[in-house]
Structure 1
Amino acid sequence: MNVAVEHIATDQPPDDAKARDLDYGWQSGNQIELLENGEAYFPKVFEAMRAAQREILLETFILFEDKVGFELKDILIEAAQRGVKVVASLDGFGCGELSVSFLRELAEAGVAVQMFDPASKTLGIRTNWFRRLHRKIVVVDAAVAFIGGINFSADHLGDFGPEAKQDYAVQIVGPAVADLHHFALAQSGRQVRTRRGWRRRQQRPAPWATSEEDGLVRLIYRDNVQHRDDIEEAYIHALSKARTRAVIANAYFFPGYRLLREIRNAARRGVHVQLIMQGQPDVLLAKLAARMLYDYLLKDGVVIHEYCQRPLHGKVALVDDDWSTVGSSNLDPLSLALNLEANVLIRDRAFNQQLYESLEALARNHCQTMPEKRKPRLWLWRLTVGFLVFHVMRHFPVLTGWLPAHKPRLKPIESPAHDV
C-alpha cells in the first residue's frame, strides 16, 4: 500500500507564498509558562492535542519510535480520526530512522506527514547532514503554542538514564499564538489566509520592546534567505543593553566574534555574565570547540559553568530582570548559519525570574565552574588541537556552502523506497 508522505524543502520561501517571509512584532498580553524537560513538556503538549477540535500543527527535528513517539502517534491518529486537521513536519535527518509502517499508520488515519529533505543512506551513512529543519513548534487550534528545544523522544525524560537530556520549552497562550500559528502554517506549505487583525510588517520590528508591561512575546526565526541573522542579532542587541546580569545556557556554543565580543564587553562593564555549557557532551567536538573560547571570556570576568549531571540540550538565555529567549537555536555554526530555527523573545519579569532560578540551581548544584586562571596542561597538544578545531568550526558554514542548496519546493512521495 502506498504511503502518502510529502517531501518538503523550505530553505527559502516558496515563490507562490510571499507571506512566508515575515517579520513578527512584539505581542502583548500573553501567558508564558516555562516547561523544564520532558516531565513538564510532554503532559502539557499531549493534553492540548487530546483536546484539539480543529487543527494540530507540529514541527520537530527528532521523532523516535519509543514510548514518547508511540504516544504521540496514537494521539495524532485519534485526533485525525475525529476530524482534526493534523500536519506533522519532520526532519529527514533527525527522523530518518522512522519505519514505513510507523508513517503508514499516520497517513492512513489522515495525518498529513511531511518530511524535510529525506535521503536514503549511502554505504550505510546518512548524507543529508546540513541545513536541517531544527525547529520544535506545536500549535493547537491556533489557541495554544509550544516552542523550545525538546524533541519527541524518550531521552528527554529522567527515567531514560544518565543520557537523559536537560532542556527547556515554553507554553504560550495569548495574541502571540496567532503569529506562531501563521508561521507554522506558512512553513508547512499550507495556504495562509490573512487573518482579521493581522498585518504584514513592512519594516523590521524593534528588537527591544519599549513597553514596560509584562507578557510581551515576539517570534524570531532563522532561514537561509532574508532572516539569516535574526536570532544572533537578538542576542547581540540584548547583551549590548544588559545592565546587571546575563545568563546563557546553550548546548553547542561556538558563536561568531560579534556575539563573543558582546558577551565579553558586558562582563567588562560590570554585568554578571554566566555561561552554562555542556560538561558531558554527546558530541566531543562541541566541547572542544567551546573550550577554545574559555580563556578569551574568563579573563574579562565571564563565569563559565559546565553542566556535568547529564547532557545539556537547552537553548535559553536571560538578560537583566525581564528579557528572555527560549527556542531551538544553539549558538554554533549549524544553528546560526545553516539550520532552520525558531525562538521566542520574552519580556516578562515573572518568567525571567523563574528561568533565572532554574538556571541558578542548575549551576549551583550540578555544574563545575571553570577557574579564572586555568593551569596550562599539555599546552602543545592543546594548542595544536585548538588551532584545528577553531578553524574547522569557524569556516564550517563556508565549507558546507559548496554543497548543493535545498530547493524551495513541495514534492509528494507516493511510496518511500527507503526507511524514512
Structure 2
Amino acid sequence: MTVAVEHIATDQPPDDAKARDVDYGWQSGNRLELLENGEAYFPRVFQAMREAQREILLETFILFEDKVGHELKGILIEAAQRGVKVVASLDGFGCGELSPAFLGELAEAGVLVQMFDPASKMLGIRTNWFRRLHRKIVVVDATVAFIGGINFSADHLGDFGPEAKQDYAVRVTGPAVADLHHFALAQSGRQVRTRRGWRRRQQRPSLWTTANEEGLVRLIYRDNVQHRDDIEEAYIHALSKAQKRVVIANAYFFPGYRLLREIRNAARRGVHVQLIMQGQPDVLLAKLAARMLYDYLLKDGVVIHEYCQRPLHGKVALVDDEWSTVGSSNLDPLSLSLNLEANVLIRDRAFNQQLYERLELLAHEHCRTMPENRKPRLWLWRLTVGFLVFHVMRHFPVLTGWLPAHKPRLKPFESQAHDL
C-alpha cells in the first residue's frame, strides 16, 4: 500500500494571494458554546463530523495515536468513504510521530492529509522547531466551526491523570462560520471563491466594535507576512478600553513589552486585572519565564493566580462584560512572533459571563494566589536576570526577524512511498 501525503512547507498555502491575505470583519447573529476540556469538546466535534454531508476541514498542531486519535481517524475514514471531502492539515512537528500505517489508513480511505513543514530527525531529534502550524480549527459543511486550544490527544481528558490539560474551545454557528470556512479552505490550499467582503482591504476593519449587538464574532489570525501582530494588537486594544475587569488565562505567558505595559496600565487605573498562569507546567521553562514578570505586575495591583491542579493549556481572555477571545495563541514569543495562530474575538454578554464564571471557579478553588508584598529570594540575581529578560522581551519581535522564515508559496508534493 502506498501512502500519498501532501507536504506544505510554507506559511502561504494558496497561490491566490487575494483569497489568502484577508482581513475578516465583525459578524453578528452568531450562537456560541464554550467547551471546557476534552470532555465537552470531543463529543461535540465528533458528533458534527459524524453528521457531515459534504466537507470536513481540520487543522491541528497535535494528533496522537491514542484513544482520541484513533476515534478521530475512524470518524474521518467513515466520512470519506460516504463521499464527504475531508482535508486534515497537520503540523510536521506536533504530528511528527504519526506512523506510516496511521496516515496510510487515512489516505487509502480518501482523506487528504497535509503535513506542514515536515522534517527528518537529526540524531534522533526533531529540528523543525520554529514557525509551527499551531492553529486548532474544525469546520464542518460550512455550517458549524470549532476553534480553540484543544488538540486531538487523550491528554485533554481528565482520565489521562495528573498531566491532563485544562483548556478551552468554542463552537460557533451563524454568519461567522463562513469566514472560518473561507480561512480554513484557503489555508489548506484548496480553491476558494472570494466575495467582495473577503477581498484584501486597503484599510483593515477595527479590532474593536461598539455595536450594540449580541453574538458578534471576528476571526483574527497571525502569519509571518501581512498579519504578524494582529492577535497581539487585539489584546492591546481591548486592554486599553478596559474599565471594570480583565481576566487572562494563558498557558505560556511571556508577552512583549507593549502588551505587558498595557496590562500594568489597566491595573493602575483601577481595573481589576487577574492573570491565571501555570503552577504545574508541562514545560518548566514556561513557568520560570512567567515568574520573571511577577514583581513588575504585582507592584501595580495585578492579581496573579497559579493553577496547580494540572497543567494549564488555555488561551482565553475577557475584558469587562462583553469582550472575550478564544483561540490557539499563547502570549509568548513563539505564538506572538513565529507560529501560525488563529483566535476569535467575541462580543457577547452571555458568553463573557459564562467564561468569567468558569475562570473564577478555577482561580478560587484550584489556584494559589501570589502575595502582593512577596519578598523574592536571590534578589540581586533576579534583578540582573530580570533586567536582561525584560529588554530581550521588549525587542523580541525584531530579533525574530533575523531567523529564517518560510517562503511564501505552496509546495505540494507526494511523500516517499511507505510499503505497509
Task: Determine helix, strand or coil for the equivalent of 1:398.
Answer: helix
Q: In structure 2, what is the Cα distance between the partners aligned to 1:367 and 1:314?
A: 14
CA shift in 2, pair 1:314/1:220, >3 Å: same
Q: What does the per-residue CA deviation read over 1:287-312, in whole Å, with 9 as the maximum and x for residues that have no partner?
A: 11111111111111100000011000
1:199 Cα shift? Answer: 5.7
How far residue 399 of structure 1 moved from its aligned partner, in angstroms, is 5.2
Tell me, yes or no, if the aligned pair for 2:250 and 2:277 is still in contact at 8 Å.
Answer: yes
Aligned to 2:151: 151
Deviation, structure 1 residue 389: 5.1
Task: Provide the secondary structure at the position in 1 that maps to 2:392.
Answer: helix
Distance 1:12 1:414, change over 3 A: closer
Mapping of residues 168-179 of structure 1, within 5 Å:
168-179=168-179
Structure 1 position 406, deviation (Å): 1.4
Structure 1 pair 59–189 and aligned structure 2 pair: CA distance change class (3 A)? same
Q: Provide the C-alpha distance between the structure 2 equivalents of 1:394 and 1:95, rounded to a whole number of angstroms.
A: 32
Deviations 1:351-389 (CA, angstroms, capped at 9, x unpaired) = 000000000000000000000011131334444554565
Classify 1:170/1:419 alpha carbon distance in 2 versus 1 (closer, same or farther; 3 Å).
farther
* CA distance in structure 2 between the partners assigned to 1:133 and 1:247 by the alignment: 26
Deviates more, 1:197-206 or 1:237-246: 197-206
Shift of 1:9: 2.9
- Paired with 1:127 and 1:397, the residues of 2 have a C-alpha distance of 22
Of the structure 1 ranges 405-414 and 386-395, higher mean CA displacement relative to structure 2 is found in 386-395
- Alpha-carbon distance between aligned partners in 1 of 2:92 and 2:45, rounded to the nearest angstrom: 23
Do the aligned residues in 2 keep the contact of 1:24 with 1:201 (CA within 8 Å)? no
Distance 1:19 1:383, change over 3 A: same
Greater Cα shift, 193-202 or 257-266: 193-202
Of 399-408 and 348-357, more deviation after overlay is shown by 399-408
Equivalent residue, structure 1, for 2:417: 417
1:307-360 CA-to-partner distances (Å, cap 9, x unmatched) read 011000000000000000000000000000000000000000000000000000
Q: Is the 8 A contact 1:98 1:419 kept in 2?
A: no
Percent identity over the alignment is 91
- Residue 117 of structure 1 is matched in structure 2 by 117
TM-score (norm 1): 0.95
**Conserved? CA contact 1:144–1:171, under 8 Å:** yes
Q: Deviations over 1:168-191 (max 9, x none)?
A: 000000000000000000000001
1:311 to 1:201, Cα distance in 2 relative to 1, 3 A: same
Residues 215 and 64 of structure 1, relative CA distance in 2, 3 Å threshold:
same
Deviations 1:244-267 (A, max 9, x none): 000000001111111111111111
CA shift digits 1:144-189 (9 cap, x unpaired): 0000000000000000000000000000000000000000000000
Residues 1:419 and 1:226: Cα distance change in structure 2 (over 3 Å) = farther
Q: Deviations along 1:80-115, whole A, 9 cap, x unmatched?
A: 000000000000000000001100000000000000
SS where residue 360 of structure 1 aligns?
helix
Aligned-residue offset at 1:414:
2.8
Contact 2:316 2:326 survives alignment (8 Å): yes
Range 204-213 or range 356-365, more displaced: 204-213
Q: 1:298 to 1:110 in 2, by over 3 A?
A: same
Count of equivalent residues: 420
Report the RMSD for the aligned CA atoms in angstroms: 2.0
SS at match of 1:273: strand
Runs of 4 or more consecutive aligned structure 1 residues displaced over 6 Å after TM superposition? 417-420
Specify the SS of the correspondent of 2:94: coil
Q: Do 2:29 and 2:216's aligned partners in 1 also have CA atoms closer than 8 Å?
A: yes
In the TM superposition, residue 203 of structure 1 has moved relative to its aligned partner by: 2.3
Q: Is the 8 A contact 2:13 2:188 kept in 1?
A: no
Distance 1:64 1:390 in 2: 36
Deviation at 1:390, TM superposition (A): 5.0
CA offsets, 1:191-246, max 9 Å, x none?
A: 11135986654421111112111100000000001100100000000010001000
How far residue 407 of structure 1 moved from its aligned partner, in angstroms, is 2.2
CA distance in 2, matches of 1:299, 1:33: 36
Q: Which SS does the other structure have where 1:411 is aligned?
A: coil
Cα deviation, residue 131, structure 1: 0.2
User: Would the alpha carbon gap of residues 416 and 308 (structure 1) be closer, same or farther in structure 2, given more than 3 Å must change?
Assistant: farther
Distance in 2 of aligned mates of 1:198 and 1:18: 8
* Aligned partners of 2:258 and 2:394 also within 8 Å: no
Q: 1:8-407, aligned counterparts within 5 Å?
A: 8-12=8-12, 14-194=14-194, 201-383=201-383, 385-386=385-386, 390=390, 400-407=400-407
For 2:53 and 2:266, the matched residues in 1 are separated by 47
Q: Deviations over 1:7-38 (max 9, x none)?
A: 11341364433210000000000000000000
C-alpha spacing 1:302/1:289, structure 2 compared with 1 (3 Å): same
Cα offset, 1:143, TM superposition: 0.1
What's the CA shift for 1:395?
Answer: 5.8
After superposition, the Cα gap between the structure-2 partners of 1:164 and 1:216, relative to the gap in structure 1 and judged at 3 Å, is: same
Contact 2:169 2:327 (C-alpha < 8 Å) held by counterparts: yes
CA gap 1:395/1:223 in 2 versus in 1, 3 angstroms: same
Asked whether the equivalents of residues 7 and 410 of structure 1 are also in contact (C-alpha less than 8 Å), the reply is: no
Secondary structure of 1:243's counterpart equals coil
Runs of at least 5 residues in structure 2 that lack an aligned partner in the other structure: none
Stretch deviating more after TM superposition (370-379 or 288-297): 370-379
